[in-house]
Protein backbone atom coordinates (compact mmCIF):
# COMPACT_ATOMS: atom_id res chain seq x y z
CA UNK A 1 0.00 0.00 0.00
CA UNK A 2 1.28 3.47 -0.88
CA UNK A 3 1.12 6.15 1.77
CA UNK A 4 1.07 9.80 0.84
CA UNK A 5 3.62 11.82 2.76
CA UNK A 6 1.92 14.71 4.49
CA UNK A 7 3.53 18.10 4.45
CA UNK A 8 4.52 19.42 7.85
CA UNK A 9 2.69 22.68 8.57
CA UNK A 10 4.30 25.31 10.74
CA UNK A 11 2.50 26.22 13.94
CA UNK A 12 1.65 29.85 14.68
CA UNK A 13 4.49 29.97 17.24
CA UNK A 14 7.01 28.85 14.60
CA UNK A 15 5.75 31.45 12.14
CA UNK A 16 5.85 34.20 14.77
CA UNK A 17 9.40 33.24 15.70
CA UNK A 18 10.50 33.61 12.08
CA UNK A 19 8.68 36.93 11.74
CA UNK A 20 10.22 38.17 14.99
CA UNK A 21 13.70 37.39 13.70
CA UNK A 22 12.89 39.23 10.48
CA UNK A 23 11.61 42.37 12.20
CA UNK A 24 14.54 42.52 14.62
CA UNK A 25 17.00 41.89 11.80
CA UNK A 26 15.50 44.71 9.75
CA UNK A 27 15.66 47.18 12.62
CA UNK A 28 19.27 46.27 13.45
CA UNK A 29 20.24 46.44 9.79
CA UNK A 30 18.84 49.96 9.48
CA UNK A 31 20.44 51.36 12.64
CA UNK A 32 23.81 49.66 12.17
CA UNK A 33 24.19 50.83 8.58
CA UNK A 34 22.95 54.32 9.45
CA UNK A 35 25.60 54.58 12.16
CA UNK A 36 28.39 53.88 9.68
CA UNK A 37 26.89 56.01 6.90
CA UNK A 38 26.52 59.09 9.07
CA UNK A 39 29.94 58.73 10.66
CA UNK A 40 31.71 58.29 7.31
CA UNK A 41 29.44 60.75 5.50
CA UNK A 42 30.27 63.46 8.03
CA UNK A 43 33.98 62.80 7.59
CA UNK A 44 34.10 62.68 3.78
CA UNK A 45 31.99 63.67 0.78
CA UNK A 46 33.40 60.93 -1.44
CA UNK A 47 30.35 58.92 -2.49
CA UNK A 48 32.35 55.82 -3.36
CA UNK A 49 33.98 55.75 0.09
CA UNK A 50 30.58 56.16 1.76
CA UNK A 51 29.09 53.43 -0.39
CA UNK A 52 31.87 50.90 0.28
CA UNK A 53 31.80 51.59 4.02
CA UNK A 54 28.01 51.23 4.14
CA UNK A 55 27.95 48.13 1.96
CA UNK A 56 30.68 46.43 4.00
CA UNK A 57 28.79 47.14 7.21
CA UNK A 58 25.51 46.00 5.66
CA UNK A 59 26.95 42.60 4.70
CA UNK A 60 28.70 42.17 8.05
CA UNK A 61 25.55 43.13 9.97
CA UNK A 62 23.35 40.75 7.97
CA UNK A 63 25.60 37.75 8.53
CA UNK A 64 26.20 38.67 12.16
CA UNK A 65 22.45 38.85 12.82
CA UNK A 66 21.89 35.55 11.03
CA UNK A 67 24.62 33.81 13.04
CA UNK A 68 23.24 35.21 16.30
CA UNK A 69 19.70 34.08 15.50
CA UNK A 70 20.91 30.62 14.48
CA UNK A 71 22.80 30.15 17.74
CA UNK A 72 19.97 31.50 19.87
CA UNK A 73 17.18 29.50 18.24
CA UNK A 74 19.33 26.34 18.14
CA UNK A 75 19.70 26.61 21.91
CA UNK A 76 15.94 27.02 22.27
CA UNK A 77 15.35 23.98 20.06
CA UNK A 78 17.81 21.86 22.07
CA UNK A 79 16.09 22.94 25.29
CA UNK A 80 12.67 21.97 23.94
CA UNK A 81 13.95 18.55 22.88
CA UNK A 82 15.53 18.01 26.31
CA UNK A 83 12.21 18.89 27.97
CA UNK A 84 10.36 16.37 25.79
CA UNK A 85 12.89 13.64 26.62
CA UNK A 86 12.56 14.40 30.33
CA UNK A 87 8.76 14.29 30.22
CA UNK A 88 8.84 10.98 28.36
CA UNK A 89 10.95 9.54 31.18
CA UNK A 90 8.56 10.91 33.80
CA UNK A 91 5.56 9.35 32.07
CA UNK A 92 7.26 5.97 32.34
CA UNK A 93 8.36 6.39 35.95
CA UNK A 94 5.57 8.48 37.47
CA UNK A 95 2.50 8.22 35.27
CA UNK A 96 -0.01 9.10 37.99
CA UNK A 97 1.73 12.36 38.79
CA UNK A 98 1.64 13.37 35.12
CA UNK A 99 -2.02 12.41 34.90
CA UNK A 100 -2.77 14.56 37.94
CA UNK A 101 -0.92 17.47 36.38
CA UNK A 102 -3.09 17.28 33.26
CA UNK A 103 -6.24 16.99 35.39
CA UNK A 104 -5.25 20.07 37.41
CA UNK A 105 -4.60 21.97 34.20
CA UNK A 106 -8.18 21.51 33.03
CA UNK A 107 -9.56 22.23 36.49
CA UNK A 108 -7.70 25.56 36.44
CA UNK A 109 -9.48 26.26 33.16
CA UNK A 110 -12.81 26.06 34.98
CA UNK A 111 -13.74 22.44 34.18
CA UNK A 112 -15.34 20.42 36.98
CA UNK A 113 -13.05 17.90 38.72
CA UNK A 114 -14.97 14.91 37.32
CA UNK A 115 -14.91 16.22 33.75
CA UNK A 116 -11.27 17.28 34.05
CA UNK A 117 -10.32 13.80 35.23
CA UNK A 118 -12.21 12.21 32.33
CA UNK A 119 -10.56 14.52 29.79
CA UNK A 120 -7.12 13.88 31.24
CA UNK A 121 -7.57 10.10 31.20
CA UNK A 122 -8.79 10.12 27.61
CA UNK A 123 -5.97 12.35 26.38
CA UNK A 124 -3.32 10.42 28.28
CA UNK A 125 -4.66 7.20 26.82
CA UNK A 126 -4.46 8.48 23.24
CA UNK A 127 -1.24 10.54 23.24
CA UNK A 128 0.39 10.87 26.66
CA UNK A 129 3.62 12.59 25.63
CA UNK A 130 1.91 15.11 23.37
CA UNK A 131 -0.61 15.89 26.09
CA UNK A 132 1.96 16.40 28.83
CA UNK A 133 4.42 18.57 26.88
CA UNK A 134 1.57 20.69 25.53
CA UNK A 135 -0.08 21.18 28.93
CA UNK A 136 3.10 21.73 30.95
CA UNK A 137 5.33 23.53 28.46
CA UNK A 138 3.10 24.63 25.57
CA UNK A 139 5.24 22.57 23.18
CA UNK A 140 3.72 20.92 20.11
CA UNK A 141 5.39 17.56 19.73
CA UNK A 142 7.48 17.41 16.54
CA UNK A 143 7.16 21.17 16.02
CA UNK A 144 10.37 22.73 17.21
CA UNK A 145 11.54 26.23 16.31
CA UNK A 146 13.71 26.08 13.21
CA UNK A 147 17.05 27.94 13.55
CA UNK A 148 17.53 28.05 9.77
CA UNK A 149 14.23 29.86 9.21
CA UNK A 150 15.13 32.45 11.86
CA UNK A 151 18.68 32.85 10.53
CA UNK A 152 17.57 33.35 6.91
CA UNK A 153 14.78 35.73 7.92
CA UNK A 154 17.29 37.78 9.91
CA UNK A 155 19.89 37.67 7.12
CA UNK A 156 17.60 38.97 4.38
CA UNK A 157 15.68 41.45 6.53
CA UNK A 158 18.88 43.00 7.93
CA UNK A 159 20.22 43.33 4.40
CA UNK A 160 17.02 44.84 3.04
CA UNK A 161 16.60 47.10 6.06
CA UNK A 162 19.93 48.81 5.49
CA UNK A 163 19.51 49.13 1.71
CA UNK A 164 17.19 52.17 1.66
CA UNK A 165 19.43 54.54 3.68
CA UNK A 166 22.52 53.20 1.88
CA UNK A 167 21.03 53.90 -1.55
CA UNK A 168 19.73 57.30 -0.42
CA UNK A 169 23.04 58.64 0.91
CA UNK A 170 25.02 57.15 -1.99
CA UNK A 171 22.98 58.14 -5.04
CA UNK A 172 20.99 61.23 -4.07
CA UNK A 173 22.40 64.56 -5.31
CA UNK A 174 24.60 66.33 -2.77
CA UNK A 175 21.96 68.98 -2.01
CA UNK A 176 19.40 66.28 -1.12
CA UNK A 177 21.81 63.75 0.37
CA UNK A 178 21.26 64.39 4.07
CA UNK A 179 17.53 65.29 4.04
CA UNK A 180 16.81 62.32 1.78
CA UNK A 181 18.79 59.90 3.91
CA UNK A 182 17.16 61.14 7.11
CA UNK A 183 13.73 60.66 5.53
CA UNK A 184 14.71 57.16 4.36
CA UNK A 185 15.82 56.23 7.88
CA UNK A 186 12.67 57.65 9.48
CA UNK A 187 10.43 55.77 7.06
CA UNK A 188 12.39 52.53 7.53
CA UNK A 189 12.37 52.55 11.34
CA UNK A 190 8.73 53.63 11.40
CA UNK A 191 7.85 50.62 9.25
CA UNK A 192 9.75 48.20 11.50
CA UNK A 193 8.07 49.79 14.54
CA UNK A 194 4.68 49.24 12.96
CA UNK A 195 5.49 45.63 12.09
CA UNK A 196 6.86 44.84 15.54
CA UNK A 197 3.75 46.28 17.19
CA UNK A 198 1.42 44.33 14.91
CA UNK A 199 3.41 41.17 15.52
CA UNK A 200 3.47 41.59 19.29
CA UNK A 201 -0.05 43.04 19.44
CA UNK A 202 1.34 46.13 21.12
CA UNK A 203 0.66 49.85 20.76
CA UNK A 204 1.43 50.79 17.17
CA UNK A 205 1.77 54.53 17.78
CA UNK A 206 4.18 54.04 20.69
CA UNK A 207 6.29 51.55 18.74
CA UNK A 208 6.59 53.86 15.74
CA UNK A 209 7.45 56.93 17.85
CA UNK A 210 10.00 54.92 19.87
CA UNK A 211 11.72 53.60 16.76
CA UNK A 212 11.79 57.01 15.08
CA UNK A 213 13.32 58.64 18.19
CA UNK A 214 15.97 55.90 18.41
CA UNK A 215 16.73 56.33 14.70
CA UNK A 216 17.11 60.12 15.06
CA UNK A 217 19.37 59.75 18.10
CA UNK A 218 21.49 57.18 16.22
CA UNK A 219 21.92 59.55 13.27
CA UNK A 220 22.72 62.50 15.53
CA UNK A 221 25.37 60.68 17.58
CA UNK A 222 27.17 59.10 14.63
CA UNK A 223 27.10 62.30 12.57
CA UNK A 224 28.90 64.22 15.28
CA UNK A 225 31.29 61.34 15.89
CA UNK A 226 32.23 61.61 12.20
CA UNK A 227 32.73 65.39 12.49
CA UNK A 228 34.89 65.07 15.61
CA UNK A 229 37.07 62.44 13.97
pTM, two decimal places: 0.69
Q: Over the stretch 150-165, which tens digit does the pLDDT of each residue have?
A: 888 888 888 888 888 8
> Is pLDDT above 70 for 11?
no
Q: Over the stretch 166-199, which tens digit does the pLDDT of each residue have?
A: 888 888 887 888 888 888 888 888 888 888 777 7
Output the pLDDT for position 2. 37
Q: Above pLDDT 90, what percent of the chain?
A: 4
Domain boundaries, the chain: 13-83+147-226
Cα–chain center distance at 207: 16
Output the pLDDT for position 10. 57
Q: Above pLDDT 70, what percent of the chain?
A: 90
Amino acid sequence: MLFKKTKKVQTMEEKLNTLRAGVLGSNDGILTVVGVLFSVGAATTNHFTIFIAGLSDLIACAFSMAAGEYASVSTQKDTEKAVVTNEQTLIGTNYEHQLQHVTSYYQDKGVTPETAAAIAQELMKQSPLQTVVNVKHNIHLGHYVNPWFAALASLFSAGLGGCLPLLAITFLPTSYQWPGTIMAVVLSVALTGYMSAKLGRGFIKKAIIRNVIIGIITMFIHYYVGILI
